[in-house]
Amino acid sequence: MEGSLLSGLNSGVVVSLIAVLWTVVWQNLQHLQLQQFFGRHLSRHARRLAAMVDPYLSVTIAEYEGGRMRRSDAFEEVKAYLSAACSRGVRHLRAEGSKDADKLVLSMVDGEEVADEFQGATVWWWAYSKSPPRSDSASALWGGGGAQEERRFYRLFFLERHRELVLDTYLPRVRRQGRAVMVKNRQRKLFTNISTHQWSDGGYMRSAWSHVVFEHPKTFATLAMDPARKKEITDDLDMFKNGKEYYARVGKAWKRGYLLYGPPGTGKSAMIAAMANYLDYDIYDIELTSVHSNTDLRKLFIETTSKSIIVIEDIDCSLDLTGARKKKTKAAAEDDKDKKDAAAAAKAAGGGGGKKDTSSKVTLSGLLNFIDGLWSACGGERIIVFTTNHVDKLDPALIRRGRMDKHIEMSYCGFEAFKFLAKTYLDVDDHELFGGVGELLREVDMTPADVAENLTPKSLEDNPDSCLAALVKALEEAREKKASGGNDGDEPEEEDEEEQ
């Protein structure tokens, strides 16, 4: 009896000890996260088993990177590299225009695959895309769904035993050759920004820019300007284009700002075209009134490429940036308050279905950060150009050195510019009327555009004599108008015209 009791007590003690030990061990095992441990262990064996069944690895190159903030350079380089391979082994191709008007640049359509050989290894490139999320008809109508675009990808497949060869040697070679093809087929482009209200809010934001091929004929050789001033500008452009090491050494972003100012018709737009042709750069023409916020302005800058000129024309007319540091008048402040109150009342009455605010909220501070803030260092080899008819109206902070590094005055036509235009339009180096034209140009102001128009033959009977006589007559009429009290300098505020 006592032995049975003692045996029972010993068994109970053992069970209790086991329970206590299990509780302690189990609590510690929980801290070790057994589920994750066994999951990793099983996953490791699953990968080994998959490698035995499917020995292929893959690398995916997406069209956009950085949270879809900018287009991937690697994607464009792979696309260019494959343009030659595609024509050999792909049944369905996508064609785009090329630098040669008679040729096409080819690429794979979605779902196509092409093989490539490299040092005894065979790899396969596959093109595919993902559609944007579906949106309702209302958002599509207002530019939401309609503005979204598919996201494209290239996926490279290769055997695992070729991993080092593909990753370390083949892919760098693809990028180098792709860049060479891009340079060969490059078409310079003129970009303009779309309204930021048409950008999608869902992760499939469309590109902020649309473009056409840039084929402007204006060059410095045909720009009406004093030869010494033209040389000064071209020398400055050369120093910038070849200054990568210099900018890195002094710790500055590789960019330069140019302010072009002067009366309408003095050739500010023509100067921009000549700069782009001289440097072989693209042009990004920003319409500030279509930019909703400072954040959207940064997105625009990020999507620009190197070797480009970013232009904001007539900046004094684009937004209320000139008086940003001045206090509003009392009447204007009250008017703004009334508008805000009316908008709030309409929203409350309509249950929150008020019209979307489409006004631009770009500020002077946002524009200054766009020019030389931290974001301005994203990328390199960019020129920023502002044009204005009234430089005195701009905030000094906007055009100070370091932001607008070089100020170029586009003035009325002088005698040297006139002689250049006479040579260009009439092919004459000297004429008996040159002296009279020179005296008149010193007395009255006439833009190069107006001088060029008077020198342009209007009929088959026109010749240098008649065209120069027409110019003298126009200058004399301008002088008489000025003498009688008319102000020939008051011209309508309109977009800057180019010399013809």
pLDDT tens sequence across 292-338: 888 888 888 888 888 999 999 988 876 665 544 444 444 444 445 55
Over the stretch 441-480, which tens digit does the pLDDT of each residue have? Answer: 999 999 998 999 999 998 988 899 999 999 999 999 989 8
Report whether 68 contacts 200 (CB < 8 A): no
Q: How far apart are CA 84 and CA 90, in angstroms?
A: 11
pLDDT score of 170:
93
Please name the amino acid found at residue 408.
I
> Coil, strand, or helix at residue 25?
helix
Per DSSP, helices labelled H in 280-390 are 294-302, 315-318, 330-349, 364-372
List of long-range contacts for 370-374, beta carbons under 8 Å, 24+ apart: 370/294, 370/297, 370/298, 370/301, 371/257, 371/398, 371/403, 371/404, 372/253, 372/255, 372/257, 372/402, 372/403
Over the stretch 32-66, which tens digit does the pLDDT of each residue have? Answer: 555 565 556 566 656 566 556 668 888 998 887 76
Q: How far apart are CA 425 and CA 342, in angstroms?
A: 59
pLDDT score of 17:
74
For residue 97, pLDDT over 70 is answered with no
**DSSP letter at 125?**
E
Whether the model clears a pTM of 0.85, i.e. scores above it, the answer is no
3-state percent breakdown (helix, strand, coil) of the chain, nearest 5: 50, 15, 35
Q: Can you tell me the mean pLDDT for 127-148? A: 53
Q: Can you tell me the mean pLDDT for 119-130? A: 88
Name the token pair of 150.
């598919």
Report whether 376 contacts 298 (CB < 8 A): no
pLDDT score of 359:
66
pLDDT score of 403:
85
Q: Can you tell me the mean pLDDT for 264-291? A: 92
394: left (phi over 0), alpha (psi -120 to 50) or beta: beta
Q: How far apart are CA 64 and CA 70, in angstroms?
A: 6
